[in-house]
Amino acid sequence: MQPTRLYLVRHGQTDWNLAGRLQGQTDIPLNDTGRSQAEEARQRLSGVQFDAVYSSPLSRAVETAVLVSGWPADKVRTDERIKEIAFGDWEGKAPRTLGDDFAPFFADPAHFVPAPGGESLPALMARVSDFVAYVKQTHRGQTVLAVSHGAALHALLTAELGLAMKDYWSVGLGNCAAAELELEGERFVLKSTSGPTSANYLEKYLK
């Protein structure tokens, strides 16, 4: 049997990414730079044949999935479990304006407390882990693409790779970066990353 591989790709840039605003589950579309980033990711992954393509239902992820995979939109399966974290009352705001309330999100994830209407990191990790379990069960011996978001993908990696919460952001996926995972036994292991790494989150968002 062929190995089971899962490629994780973060969506391309949006205007809110550029402005440093928290998007969460607000449906902000790609900008032209984001579309170019997705085309570049398609070139980097051009040798990979996908058996299934999944996306967060948010349009920035769906469009990225279409551009990266070359699949038509109606063949891309959207899955709520890989939607971005809900920031609740903080959506649309710049983290630096939220002060100490938001700071642990990047600086000390283990002690992050969400805003009203927001989602905790453990809850996010649970739902993305449920998606990973589904992939393992449904796509044995296949190669799967999943296009999602910064916090959601880092939650997936933290949970599946068994990282400490202090290392939540350690892989560093920039817009349209890709991480290749391969199933070894019952867990995925990280084989490689490609594309832009994220800027230091503390520098970008909190200072």
Catalytic residue positions, numbered: 11, 149
What is d(CA 187, CA 190) in angstroms, rounded to the nearest whole number? Answer: 10
Q: Cβ distance 91 to 23 under 8 Å?
A: yes
Spell 160-177 as b/e; 16+ CB within 10 A means b: bbebeeeebbebbbbbbb
Rounded to 5°, angle at Cα 141 from 135 and 144 = 45
What is d(CA 176, CA 131) in angstroms, rounded to the nearest whole number? Answer: 20
Q: Cβ distance 130 to 157 under 8 Å?
A: no
